Chain A
Amino acid sequence: MSYLLTFVIIFSVFVLVYFFLLNTGYLVLLFLASSEVIYHRRTPDFDICEVDACEFAPSVSILVPAYNEENSIVESIRSLRNLDYPNLEIIVVNDGSTDNTLASMKRSFNLIPVTRSVEESLDTQPVKGIYKSLKDDRLLIMDKENGGKADALNVGINYSRSDLFIAIDADSLIEKGAIKKLVRPYLMSEKRVIGIGGIVRVANNCEIVDADIVDPRVPKKILPAIQVMEYLRAFLFGRSGWSKINSLPIVSGAFGLFETEAVINTGGYRTDTVGEDMDLVIRLQKFMKQKKEDYEVSFIPDPVCWTEVPESRKVLGRQRNRWQRGLIETLTYNKTMLFNPKYGLLGTVTLPFFLIFEMLGPVIEITGYIVFGVSLYLGWIDTSFALLFLILSLLYGLLLSLFSLLLEEFTIKKYENPKDRLKLFLMALLENFGFRQLHSWWRLRGIIDFLRKKKSWGKMERKGFKEK
């Protein structure tokens, strides 16, 4: 019993220190994020080119990996064709789908088989066919053997002829004008910009007309509504903050822009991980640091990409499990960067923060719940102190959510209806009772699955966007 008690005591002290460090970290991040978001609001909204000169705008390929996306792929391509960027190419990579993904594209876009000779800079699964649409010169469809999302993206990079590429998910909807905004830091930064992330928002329940979101709404169902709050916090508060100190460790796989040459030089996406987006951003920065070249990975809170989030607990659990495994794999593959001053703030602050608080967070949280229960049962814990501590941590979490909402309110303000904005606050409150614990459990399962060397992606169910 005394060993258990010793463990409880040591753990309690550890939790106190952990809590203090985590919240100090968040507080610093909060200030950085506010400053970054304010900077973007202050910078005038320049159009990157006048009509005569738009042929000089950097060329951009949108890479859309598609695996069994027959429900959403046609609508996604339609929405991409509506984008107004001047030098655009859309490359859809059918990653050996077993459903009618390719057939539905052939039906809708009048595809003809073509050839395209390229220098295949990145190793990938074999390409079975290349198609061009007779409806749209910008549309290229690749059909390849199944090799996973990262492999599909690498095929897209091999066949792209553009300066920049944007990786998106097949179920993403990019707002009109978003690419021009995303490209802007590439043109207007004093440093070489190798990656730019935009904000990803939840599309469930939003009104879509002509493949564009016209009435952003917070979903009616609780689970996706809580995810709206989560995405806001992660993007507005998390990514803006890391971007401020130029050590952004992740650009979302659902909507991120990269310099093609830099990505080819670092070997493209890694195919043996489920966290290929984070891994790429970290390796890109590692490469630049090793070359001692000044660079920037930017995040801009304005260009928006809308995505459909899971509505069922089961699918969401699988997604979060995958995200957790992706994080651990990325940190494992790039472990030489951890606590390494050679990699600047990324190596000494950001990655250790992700290791200690993001990766190990669920272990500590779940252990905390167990220790709390046991100590309460055995009468070892001062109930009033424990209760105060719980309320304090809850309040701190709420405060961070509230700050994210404030940032949104004073900057981008996507949700016009005030009821939606207040509903988001309610979600921030509600997520602490059940969702947060469940989320930690899913992430803990992710850690266990990583230790069991599970590599699967996990089946995602998508309804696809339907026009209203």
Chain B
Amino acid sequence: MNIIDRLPILFWSLNNYLEPLVEDMLIFLGIIFFVILIFYIIAVWKHNRDSKKTKKIKVKWKKEIKKFSNGEKQIEEIEIEENNKIFRNLIIESRNVEEISLEDLKKIYQHYGFLDEDKKLLKSKKWWRKAQAIKRLKDLEFESLEDQVYQLIYHDRFETRLAAIDFLGSLNSTWIYDKISDIFKENRKEVDQYLILKLFPSDFPVEGLKDLVFSESIRDRKAAAILLGKYKNYEALDLLEELVDDPEEDIRIEAIKSLGRIGTPLTVPAITSKINDDKKMVRAEIAKSLGRIKDPNSLYLLRQLVDDPEYVVRVRAFTSISRFGELGREIIEEFRDEHPVSTDEAMLRSFFFEVEGK
């Protein structure tokens, strides 16, 4: 009997050999399947029940808030005895409700033990428990815990560090006033934009940025150039003047942008010191910033920029000129034949400035 003739036998033997294995696998998977199916059905049923319960608790909570705001009830008398997590979330969600002040919500949160629970969670070994607790404390603006949250800006997990920075930045915590450069050092450059977004609302003094301004790292100087634009007076002027002369194009752009954002005519000399910069985007930013400041004395500088060989500079200069109202529109008309494309775009933008009142 050659191998070909023996094939059917071999095949059947293989089938017979594998059959018990497949049978076992089938039984095993079948059991897992039914267990999970039952688990799924129970989960659907439970979640459905919870969702109905949440709706009921929400209605009850609204009534309780009303009674509280009418003075019919005290904090201790608020009756929400159901699921703790639902109650906790309801308190946080109510922070923008008119009937109850944030201070009262905080008292309720504290009275029902949620604050103590969050304090404990700040010491939890699980990063997400810490991060979630910080988020809740931030939502309810518990400034009193800033010393504990502050420690977490050095935590191993970046998610927790970022949560702590979010808390401290949004609550304008004094704890980070001299730690700005540490915060940038502790985190990778990929999260710089996040750090800037979160630190921008904080009122830390200009001195907090000195280390970053004179740092050797380009990313530090760039962050400083952006953050310095938050000061609404010229206390940041000296440091920004340093950065306007930076060898890096990006940093010069950000420094000029910040000077424009500060928005006083006193920043015009620093801005226009780079009017002959080699880089077109620097000149374009100068044109844009002058439009933000809207100082009539800088109109002659903008007129200089509308003759720039680069389109982007011209269009930004025309757009800035358009912000000077009737006078600006007259100037643009003068150039319409010479630069039809850039003047058209500028006029359209000026239309939206007026519509949106920018």
Pairing of A with B: yes
Give the chain B neighbours of A385 by CB distance below 8 A: 15-16, 18-19, 22
> When A187-B197, A385-B22 are in contact, do A114 and B8 touch as well, CB less than 8 Å?
no
Tell me if A45 and B19 are in contact (CB < 8 A): no
Tell whether, in the assembled complex, residue B33 and residue A402 are in contact, meaning their CB atoms are under 8 Å apart.
yes
Q: Quick one: which of B19, B128, B132 contacts A382, CB cutoff 8 A?
A: B19
Return the 5 tightest CB-CB contacts between A and B, nearest first.
A42-B128, A44-B135, A53-B200, A187-B194, A382-B15
Q: A114-B348, A134-B351, A388-B26 are in contact. Are A45 and B135 (CB under 8 A)?
A: yes
Residue of B nearest to A44 (CB): B135
23 contacts between A and B (CB under 8 A): A5-B4, A5-B8, A8-B11, A13-B14, A43-B159, A46-B162, A49-B197, A52-B201, A54-B197, A114-B344, A115-B341, A117-B342, A188-B162, A191-B190, A381-B15, A384-B19, A392-B29, A395-B29, A395-B30, A398-B33, A402-B36, A409-B44, A416-B51
A290 at the interface (CB under 8 A from B): no
Least Cβ–Cβ distance between A132 and chain B, in angstroms: 6
With a cutoff of 8 Å between Cβ atoms, the chain A residues found around residue B341 in the complex are 115, 117
Please indicate the chain A residues that have their CB under 8 angstroms from the CB of B32 in the complex: 399
Confirm or deny: B266 has a beta carbon within 8 angstroms of a beta carbon on chain A: no
Residue in B15, B29, B48, B352 with the greatest tally of chain A CB atoms within 10 Å: B15
Stretch at the interface among A142-150, A270-278, A327-335, A417-425: A417-425
Given contacts A137-B355, A385-B16, 9 further A-B contacts (CB under 8 A): A5-B11, A9-B10, A44-B163, A46-B163, A46-B166, A54-B197, A117-B342, A191-B188, A406-B40
What's the minimum C-beta distance from A362 to chain B, rounded to whole angstroms? Answer: 24
Is there contact, CB below 8 Å, between A46 and B197? no
A396 CB–B CB distance under 8 Å: yes
Residues of A contacting B340 in the complex (Cβ-Cβ under 8 angstroms):
115
CA distance A331 to B198 in the complex (A): 42
Smallest distance from the beta carbon of B69 to chain A beta carbons, Å? Answer: 26
Contacts of B187 in A (CB 8 A): 190
Tell me if B7 and A190 are in contact (CB < 8 A): no
What is the bound-complex CA distance between A425 and B39, given in angstroms?
A: 13
Nearest CB of A to B319, in Å: 12
**Are A389 and B22 interface neighbours, CB within 8 A?**
yes
A29 to B258, CA, bound (A): 47
B40 x A409 contact (CB < 8 A): yes
Residues of A within 8 A of B193 (CB): 56, 58, 187
With A56-B193, A56-B197 as contacts: A114 and B33 at CB distance below 8 Å:
no
Query: Known contacts being A382-B12, A416-B51, is A43 close to B7, with CB within 8 Å?
Result: no
Are A53 and B201 in contact (CB-based, < 8 A)?
yes
Task: List the count of A-B residue pairs having beta carbons below 8 Å apart.
Answer: 154
CB of A43 within 8 A of CB of B131, answer: yes
Contact of B29 among A49, A57, A382, A399 (CB under 8 A): A399
Contact flags (1/0) for A379-418 with B, using CB distance below 8 Å?
A: 0111011001101100110110011011001100100101
B43, A43: Cβ atoms under 8 Å? Answer: no
> Which of chain A's residues 1-46 have a Cβ closer than 8 Å to chain B?
2, 5-6, 8-9, 12-13, 16, 42-46
Distance to closest chain A CB from B232 (angstroms): 11
B41 nearest CB neighbor, chain A only = A422
Let me know if A380 and B11 touch, CB within 8 A: yes
Given A53-B197, A391-B26; A12-B11 close (CB under 8 Å):
yes
Indicate which residue in B11, B19, B47 contacts A388 across the interface (CB closer than 8 Å). Answer: B19
Chain B residue nearest in CB terms to A3: B4
Give the residue name and chain of the B residue nearest to A406 (CB).
B40
Docked Cα-Cα span, A12 to B10, in Å, equals 12
Give B5's nearest chain A residue, CB to CB: A2
Shortest CB-to-CB span from B30 to chain A, Å, is 6
* Chain B residues with CB below 8 A from A208, complex form: none
Q: Which of B10, B36, B134, B197 has the most chain A CB atoms inside 10 A of its CB?
A: B197
Instruction: With a 10 A CB-CB cut-off, give which of A44, A45, A115, A137 has the most chain B CB atoms.
Output: A44
Chain A 110-144, CB-CB to B under 8 Å as 1, else 0, gives 00101111000000000000001010010000000
Across the interface, B200 reaches (CB within 8 A) one of A52, A192, A399, namely A52
User: Contacts A382-B19, A395-B30, A399-B29 given: A189-B190 contact, CB under 8 Å?
Assistant: yes
Whether A50 contacts B170 in the complex (CB less than 8 A), given A116-B345, A380-B11, A391-B26, comes out as yes
Q: Are B44 and A190 in contact (CB under 8 A)?
A: no
Q: How far apart are the CA atoms of A421 and B131 in the complex, in Å? A: 31
Instruction: Verify if A193 is at the interface (C-beta below 8 Å from B).
Output: yes
- CB atoms of B23 and A388 under 8 A apart: yes
Contact B352 A137 (CB under 8 A): yes
> Is A48 located at the chain interface by the 8 A CB criterion?
yes
Chain B residue, CB-CB nearest to A13: B14
Q: How far is the CA of A422 from the CA of B48 in the complex (A)?
A: 12
Minimum CB distance partner of B36 in chain A: A402
> What's the nearest-Cβ distance from chain A to residue B62, in Å?
20
In the complex, per-residue mask of B331-358: 1 if CB is within 8 Å of any chain A CB, else 0: 0000000001110110010011001100
Which B-chain residue is minimally distant from A1 (CB atoms)? Answer: B4
**Which residue of A43, A54, A116, A188 is within 8 Å of B194 (Cβ)?**
A188
Instruction: Among A48, A52, A137, A425, point to the contact of B40 (Cβ < 8 A).
Output: A425
Interface centre among A188, A410, A421 (most CB of B within 10 A): A188
Tell me the chain B residues, 144-174 only, with Cβ under 8 Å from chain A: 158-159, 162-163, 166, 170
Q: How many Å lie between the Cα of A414 and that of B40 in the bound state?
A: 15
Given contacts A382-B15, A421-B44, contact A57 B197 (CB under 8 A): yes
CB of B256 within 8 Å of the partner chain: no
B311 in the interface, Cβ–Cβ < 8 Å? Answer: yes
